[in-house]
């Protein structure tokens, strides 16, 4: 099994039930061609195959106030091998305002002289608007001993991915639902992994990217 295939398997395990949860897949080749799966088309508000995916098309859906930051993240992802992530809001083709998180990996292809991006588009919109805050608030209030680890995990996500409080709660809650684990267990797993790495805040984003790509059932240490 190749490194790409191992990565695909681990990410798919983490993003279990992606079709139902609003998880789309994408690939961007070195020559600028993009591929979207059907879910990604729908997140952008299009019917599958209705438009030809491109970076310019994607930028056109992102508010001007966020575009520079997203472009910088995309440029960085295209310039090095390794995991990447960024988050932003967007206006879909059906005029729906969505909040999304992009997580993926850049890998060398051919003779290693060209880089290809592949990853997942996580639609956090529904979680931001309703279930996430209610579920997270209930979990935090249910026991004082769980409150600290949930707040720590939420803060880690906010810091690493530049998410607001609702979006961080949404990501924790989403993973709780998809892995059928209590919210505090998800938070504890995340924080244990970060602490085991012994990384300062400067390395937090790299650590979280790796944890997300590996999936919750993969050992923390290589």
Residue boundaries of the structural domains of the chain:
3-123, 127-214
CB 124 within 8 A of CB 171: yes
pLDDT at 136: 58
Cα(101)–Cα(168) distance, integer angstroms? 10
Residue labelled with tokens 């590996």? 214
- pLDDT tens for the chain, 222 residues: list them: 554 444 444 444 444 434 445 778 899 998 889 999 998 999 999 999 999 999 999 999 999 999 999 999 999 999 988 778 888 899 998 788 998 888 888 888 887 778 999 888 888 776 654 555 565 566 666 666 788 888 888 888 877 766 667 767 777 777 777 677 888 888 888 888 777 655 555 556 666 665 555 444 444 333
pLDDT at 103: 80
pLDDT at 110: 80
What pTM did the predictor assign? Answer: 0.65
CATH class of the domain defined by 3-123: alpha beta
Can you read off the two tokens belonging to residue 219?
């050992």
Cα(195)–Cα(189) distance, integer angstroms? 10
pLDDT at 14: 44
pLDDT at 4: 47
Cα(166)–Cα(173) distance, integer angstroms? 10
Can you read off the two tokens belonging to residue 197?
């790495």
CB 83 within 8 A of CB 209: yes
């Amino acid at each position: 099994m190749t490194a790409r295939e191992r990565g695909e398997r681990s990410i798919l395990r983490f993003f279990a039930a992606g079709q139902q949860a609003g998880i789309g897949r994408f690939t961007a080749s070195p020559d600028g061609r993009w591929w979207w799966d059907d879910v990604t088309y729908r997140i952008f508000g299009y019917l599958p195959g209705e438009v030809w995916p491109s970076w310019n098309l994607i930028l056109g859906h992102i508010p001007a106030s966020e575009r520079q930051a997203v472009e910088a993240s995309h440029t960085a992802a295209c310039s090095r091998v390794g995991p990447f992530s960024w988050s932003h809001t967007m206006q879909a083709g059906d005029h729906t305002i969505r909040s999304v998180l992009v997580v993926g990996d850049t890998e060398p292809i051919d003779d290693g002289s060209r880089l290809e991006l592949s990853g997942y588009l996580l639609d956090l919109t529904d979680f931001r608007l309703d279930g996430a805050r209610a579920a997270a608030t209930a979990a935090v209030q249910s026991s004082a001993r769980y409150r600290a680890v949930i707040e720590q995990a939420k803060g880690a996500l906010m810091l690493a991915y530049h998410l607001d409080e609702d979006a961080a709660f949404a990501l924790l809650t989403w993973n709780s639902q998809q892995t059928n684990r209590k919210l505090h267990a998800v938070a504890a797993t995340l924080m244990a992994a970060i602490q085991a790495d012994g990384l300062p805040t400067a390395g937090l984003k790299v650590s979280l990217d790796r944890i997300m790509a590996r999936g919750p059932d993969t050992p923390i240490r290589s």
